Amino acid sequence: MKRIRRWGPGLLLVSPSIVLIAVFVYGLIGWNIKVSLSNWRQAQPSSGYAGLRAYRDLFHDPAWTLDLRHILIFTVVFIVGTLFVGWSLAFLLDKGVKGEGFFRAVYLFPMAVSFIASGIVWRWLMNPAPGDRETGLNAVFDHAGLHFLANQWYLGQNWGMAAMAMPAIWALSGYIMALFLAGFRGVPEELREAARMDGASEYRVYRHVVFPHLRPVTLSALIILGHISIKVFDLIVAVGGKQLITQVPAVYMWIQIYDAQDYAKGAAIATLLLIGISVLIIPYLVFTVRSERNA
């Protein structure tokens, strides 16, 4: 009785959220997996069991192979680009600049704009129209005498998805900058001074004192960007529309469910997306729990 009085009220307090999460997150994940294994391939629900049919279908589907290629290119360019730009901005701000608050706000602002809105602007910037109809970045290149830089952007046959990552880099590097800036500031000044006292050059101070402290921040940034990238949907639809040339798994999921009404295949894509994200998140969670326990 005494024990219950100790943890009972707390449990009661969190139980609504436990119940809600159990039903609306884990319950629905379970239901989604069940649908992906079912025979529900048309408008009317069907609970017939079809095993891994939907998954096998997917891996024989040329559109799915293309989707995977697209999301891979997008993810690599997006993560590397955002980390690089975000880190560089943070590094410059950390070195000291007048009006730091102003710059910090300016770099952070793009994150406040939704992917749909920035996507529509970038769709115009990355306009691939040739010749006298040229606009956006291509026109800028042309006026600057850099005609060789003008290109097809997101309609490029092989590397279109790399161009598609640009709006995402633009939107999120400010956020990554904030993370890294906090990381830089988290390095105690005494450590840097101690290193300088020992005669380390500025380069070596960063290389051996500051950067090692940034590892946890980099890992968090990687996880955050990774899961945004795998789930990306709104940006793609705003820039490229529903076209195979820019299609990614989340868009294909939408098409399978609402256009083709193959609910099993749509659910299979959703499940694979979840697995893809779990591969990123779970090791991170394990790592955090472990490091917290050690601390």
Of positions 1, 3, 4, 16, contacts another protein by CB under 8 A: 16
Q: How far is CA 258 from CA 23, 32, 46, 139, 247, in A?
A: 24, 15, 16, 38, 15
What's the CA gap between 2 and 217, in Å, rounded? 43
Min dist. Cβ of residue 19 to another protein (A):
11
In the chain, how many H helices and how many E strands?
15, 0
Helix-helix angle 160-185:100-108, to 10 degrees: 140
Nearest residue (CB) to another protein, 153 versus 184: 153
What's the CA gap between 242 and 155, in Å, rounded? 13
Nearest residue (CB) to another protein, 146 versus 260: 260
Q: Judged by CB under 8 A, does residue 39 bind another protein?
A: no
Of positions 56, 95, 133, 290, contacts another protein by CB under 8 A: 133
Nearest residue (CB) to another protein, 201 versus 243: 243
Report the largest interatomic distance among the alpha carbons of the chain, rounded to a whole angstrom: 83
Min dist. Cβ of residue 276 to another protein (A):
21
Binding mask 88-127 for another protein (x = CB under 8 A): -----------------------------------x---x
Count of beta carbons in the 10 Å neighbourhood of residue 103: 16
Nearest residue (CB) to another protein, 165 versus 255: 255
Of positions 240, 267, 268, 273, contacts another protein by CB under 8 A: 240
Q: Judged by CB under 8 A, does residue 4 bind another protein?
A: no
Nearest residue (CB) to another protein, 66 versus 162: 66
Contacts of 136 by beta carbon, 8 Å cutoff, 6+ apart: 124, 125, 126, 127
Torsion sign across C-alpha atoms 273, 279, 282, 287: negative
Chain positions contacting another protein, by CB under 8 A: 5, 8-10, 12-13, 16, 41-45, 61-63, 66, 123, 127-130, 133, 152, 154-155, 157, 240-245, 247, 255-256, 258-262
